[in-house]
Structure 1
Amino acid sequence: MPRVFTTPPPLEPGSRVAIVAPSRPIDESMRDRACSRLRETFDLDPVVFETARSDWEWLKDNPQARAQDIMDAFEDSTIDGVVAVTGGDDQIRVLKHLDPDRLAASPTRFYGFSDNDNLRLYLWNHGIVSYGATLHPTLTVDPEIHPYVERYLRRAFFEQSLGVVDPTDEWTDEWFDFDTEEPREWHDNPGRTWHGDERVTGRLWGGNFSIVKWHLQTDRYLPSADELDGTILALETSEDVPVPREVKYTLRSMGERGLLERFDGLLMGRPRTFSPELEWEPPEDYGERLREEVVTVLDEYNPDVTAVFDVEFGHADPNVPLPLGATATLDPTEAAIRFE
């Protein structure tokens, strides 16, 4: 039997939303900036939970406390949504401390991405749809919230589904300078690239490439192969900016395990190509090289798949709060992407 999915009820103006730190915390000034935008732009009432007030050294040593905050937020009947403050690199350590029955009994809209895709894939396993947004950077960068981000975040907060997601007019992967508040440099959007010509519909599974790779490596939180039949794989490469052949190697391994052939579609987020801590310099055509490597693997293991590249989710800006577990439709004839 296919897994039954629940989309938690939409928020309403005035809804209380829990602010938690399942990964790392952020500076109080950033947290206050984001919470102000929740109040002023979206008329939501942020409630800061204990982990979001804690420092990283304590959170690092207490993954069980991070899990407890998540469960408490889900079970609080006065809370309508749960928002992660930011990402990190260790949330997989939190998952073993979660009680899936407690989460499934109180399905609540969860917002997070990057390291939070650990929790989102966990929620997927228990039939709960979740959304790809965090306090930082979603609600902190730029002097004002980008209109494209506001449009789709508003849908993720207040509507049953995102509906059709149109391409953005502009994009950037420039780091935002909070000291100067200077506007970032934006580039014209060259558009999405489609591979394959068949319209496909399926549940969305995946997220951050690094997190998907961790789940493949640990093999503790993967759905069964049969549950992935007919689904759509979503991948974005984050600020890690992996060498394209590393993405190819992981997808090839999925092919050898008989997993890659299960997907009817693939969504690839527009790749970020810059990070201050990056240890190598990506070429100007990084996105093209990444796409070529991915297509090579698809052609070998899943030649009939429909794929679309440079979609607006992940770590390049602006982006949409990708709903893992929702039903996605990829229509290459209309060049359209829809989430229900």
Structure 2
Amino acid sequence: MSVGTKHADGLSGCLTQPVSMAFTTPPPLGDDQALAIVAPSRPPDATKLQIGRERLAGLGVETRVFPTADPDRDEPASPAARAADIEDAFADPEIGAVMAYTGGDDQIRVLRHLDGDALAASPTRFFGYSDNDNLRLFLWNRGIVSYGLGVHPDLVCDADLHTYTERYLRRALFEESLGRIVPADEWTDDWFDFEAREPREWDDTPGPTMWVGPEGDSAEPVRGRVWGGTFAIVKWHLQTDRYLPAPDRLDGAVLALETSEDVPPPREVGYTLRAMGERGLLERFDGVLVGRPRTNAPPLEWDPDPDEYPAELENVVTRELGRYVPDAVAGFGYDFGHTDPSFPLPLGAVATLDPEEKALRFGPD
């Protein structure tokens, strides 16, 4: 089993070697800095935005709402205006973090308007996922670490901010790295009804599982920078082929995937991984992280079984890994992405998957 940096010739370095490619983890939010709320996808609902700001204030975080996140907007700003908002927030020295209000479905149109050099000149901690993984993958290409979680739904559902989400959000805002990730004790697949505001039902979590390829050694961890995010967004980037990194920059990386409220049929996930394998991309990853999948979603074109879907998803992922990267380590059922509660998955950060301890850690580089 390889640990550390996998080189283009398929050989691997030892764990003590530095992970390839220079990355910057933007500095933590300063005491004299505010967090900017932007809307790279959709504009906010005024009530939900206010709840999110109040809960951030409870963490000691001052917030500033940028123009695209004006709740009086009926429609998203133009892609160019959304890009300008992001650049302005990054460039402002009084802003120490930037958080997207929510996701959407067209942020990929914003990327062509972004000045990557300007963002790299003022690296700032960005928070968002789902449609915002478009921007996060763009930042990855510039060597900037970014984080999951957004204002809605993560900070505004339920009567209080979940203690698990709060714990890791605090680390992502104020500390150098997330450190070891402890699985949540409970989770829910229920949607929160903002009109009824009734408590959701929570279930005990079975905890994550790990798979070690047939050519792997279960005693050895893998360590690499995280690339990926929401499955639909990763698939868009593969399809457009405009914002993918050079393939060798993925050598030794850890592929992260979570399936969102789209709940794609497992076979679709398998087909995409197979295409990555035929393209020579899948074999470059030393590890894979799969988020806990949700199955309760808006009307779908198929009817997923909530009890069987996680295992079906795991089966197709491990099948394709076994075909294309049989020495990989894969972890399933982690609390990131479209699941409650969740931790802010840091794209670009160094992740260590230890199959012997079934442990997941982020940082230090």
Q: TM-score, normalised by structure 2?
A: 0.91
Partner of 1:43: 60
Tell me how far 1:179 sits from its aligned partner.
1.1
Partner of 1:86: 102
* Count of residue correspondences: 338
Q: Is the partner of 1:59 in helix, strand or coil?
A: coil
CA distance in 2, matches of 1:109, 1:190: 32
Partner of 2:166: 150
CA distance in 2, matches of 1:238, 1:72: 29
Q: 1:212 aligns with which of 219, 234, 240?
A: 234
CA distance in 2, matches of 1:286, 1:305: 22
Q: Is the partner of 2:155 in helix, strand or coil?
A: coil
2:244 is aligned with 1:227: no
Tell me how far 1:152 sits from its aligned partner.
0.5
Tell me how far 1:188 sits from its aligned partner.
0.7
| Maintained 8 Å contact 2:97/2:125 | yes
Partner of 2:259: 237
Partner of 1:299: 322
Tell me how far 1:182 sits from its aligned partner.
1.1
Partner of 2:146: 130
CA distance in 2, matches of 1:296, 1:268: 14
| Maintained 8 Å contact 2:282/2:324 | yes
Partner of 2:333: 310
Partner of 2:41: 23
CA distance in 1, matches of 2:311, 2:234: 22
Deviation string 1:148-189 (CA, Å, 9 cap, x unpaired) is: 001000100100000000111111111001112111111110
CA distance in 2, matches of 1:241, 1:83: 25
Q: TM-score, normalised by structure 1?
A: 0.97
Partner of 1:253: 275
Q: 2:297 aligns with which of 262, 275, 279?
A: 275
| Maintained 8 Å contact 2:43/2:74 | no
| Structure 1 unaligned regions, length at least 5 | none
Q: 1:194 aligns with which of 188, 206, 210?
A: 210
| Maintained 8 Å contact 2:36/2:65 | yes
CA distance in 2, matches of 1:48, 1:94: 19
Tell me how far 1:279 sits from its aligned partner.
3.1
CA distance in 2, matches of 1:267, 1:145: 25
Q: Is the partner of 2:49 in helix, strand or coil?
A: helix
CA distance in 1, matches of 2:243, 2:346: 19
| Maintained 8 Å contact 2:32/2:94 | no
CA distance in 2, matches of 1:177, 1:55: 22
| Maintained 8 Å contact 2:34/2:94 | yes
| Maintained 8 Å contact 1:14/1:45 | no
Partner of 1:335: 358
Partner of 1:59: 76
Tell me how far 1:194 sits from its aligned partner.
0.6
Tell me how far 1:13 sits from its aligned partner.
4.3
CA distance in 2, matches of 1:336, 1:259: 25
Partner of 1:70: 86
Tell me how far 1:278 sits from its aligned partner.
2.6
Q: 1:266 aligns with which of 271, 276, 288?
A: 288
When residues 14 and 325 of structure 1 are mapped into structure 2, their CA distance, relative to the original with a 3 A threshold, is same
Deviation string 1:121-165 (CA, Å, 9 cap, x unpaired) is: 000000000000100011111110111001000100100000000
| Maintained 8 Å contact 2:165/2:342 | yes
AA of the residue aligned to 1:228: L
Tell me how far 1:56 sits from its aligned partner.
6.3
| Maintained 8 Å contact 1:24/1:56 | no
Pick the structure with more helix per residue: 1
CA distance in 1, matches of 2:155, 2:339: 14
CA distance in 1, matches of 2:189, 2:284: 32
CA distance in 2, matches of 1:112, 1:204: 15
| Maintained 8 Å contact 1:155/1:162 | yes
Partner of 2:13: none
Tell me how far 1:55 sits from its aligned partner.
6.0
Partner of 2:3: none
Deviation string 1:227-258 (CA, Å, 9 cap, x unpaired) is: 00000000000000000000000000000000
Q: Is the partner of 1:182 in helix, strand or coil?
A: coil
CA distance in 2, matches of 1:12, 1:97: 29
CA distance in 1, matches of 2:242, 2:281: 15
CA distance in 2, matches of 1:48, 1:56: 13
AA of the residue aligned to 2:281: L
| Maintained 8 Å contact 2:177/2:362 | yes
AA of the residue aligned to 1:23: S
CA distance in 1, matches of 2:48, 2:54: 10
CA distance in 1, matches of 2:309, 2:337: 16
| Maintained 8 Å contact 2:42/2:75 | no
Q: Is the partner of 1:316 in helix, strand or coil?
A: coil
